[in-house]
Amino acid sequence: MRVFDNHAHANEITGLGAEEVAKRFKRAGGTGIIFVALLTWSIGGSPGDMAWVEKLYEHTVRNSEIAKRLGLISGAVVGVHPAECAALKDAGWDEGRIKEFMRRTVDLAARYVAEGRAIGFGEYGRPHWDADRRLVELCNEVLEYVLARARDVGAVVHLHLERKGEETVRSVAEIAVRANARPGSIVMHHIEPRAVPAARELGLVPSIPIGRRGEFEEALRLEPVYLVESDYIDDNRRPGAVIPPWSLASKIKRAVERGLASEEYFERIFENARAVYAALFRE
């Protein structure tokens, strides 16, 4: 049975690092993993510094390369988290300057994808916490640029969003239409199972974090039209905040053993990953 972790982070500065994460995942039966960029300050940087953005992207690409060397299917998703917008706003940057900076991070991500070093952009999006209206609107303007540039270079996009079910899904779908986004390229990271049907209906790719209490069991009552993710943060200061990739693999195996779903069910989920990341499966 093949297991694909659609969204994880690795950071040797705060946690185990990509090599140990990949080894443990593979031992647990993992087949493929997507490594996504962290926050700039997660690796020692500071918000608003393009030199640190490039270091962040290099770090993410290196994580993916390590996983590949260990025999896993892997790709890098590079970009800047919406928390960066919030941090810059708090630091007194005006909106025009923030937008220009974020667009530069997107253009850099596009270069990484065009050069074949990354498979996608992320995680861009909106605050999942309570935020003022102008910050959300600013993030939406950035998001539209993200989706347009992703279309230009054939990138997948991992979106960090609030969890408001169909309301969130339909909001993203509207932005995707304005950006003329490529169908099947927008991953709704950390989505709730209840929002999966709407996401699929509108051409978005739902990715469910199976470590959240009760949500995995809820997801198993759906058709296998989604991806699964650990959203592992690899930070020793926050043990147990989310499940690690190797627990994701073990949880899937236990679900089959308990008769909650069949191996064929999870094979279809794996094939969803093949459809989204076709280039990785040709390597």
Q: What is the pLDDT of residues 61-120, one digit of tens each?
A: 999 999 999 999 999 999 999 999 999 999 999 999 999 999 999 999 999 999 999 999
The count of structural domains within the chain is 1
Is the peptide bond between 167 and the residue preceding it cis, with omega within 30 degrees of 0? no
Identify the CATH number of the domain in which residue 217 sits.
Answer: 3.20.20.140
Query: What is the span of the domain harbouring residue 24?
Result: 3-281
Is the peptide bond between 123 and the residue preceding it cis, with omega within 30 degrees of 0? yes
Average pLDDT over residues 213-240: 93
Q: Give me Rg for the CA atoms of the chain.
A: 18
The alpha-helical segments, DSSP class H, found in 154-237 are 166-178, 196-201, 215-219
Kindly report, residue by residue over 164-185, the tens digit of the pLDDT.
999 999 999 999 999 999 999 9
Report the C-alpha gap between 68 and 84 in whole angstroms. 29
DSSP state of 42: G
Tell if the pTM clears 0.95, that is, is over it: yes
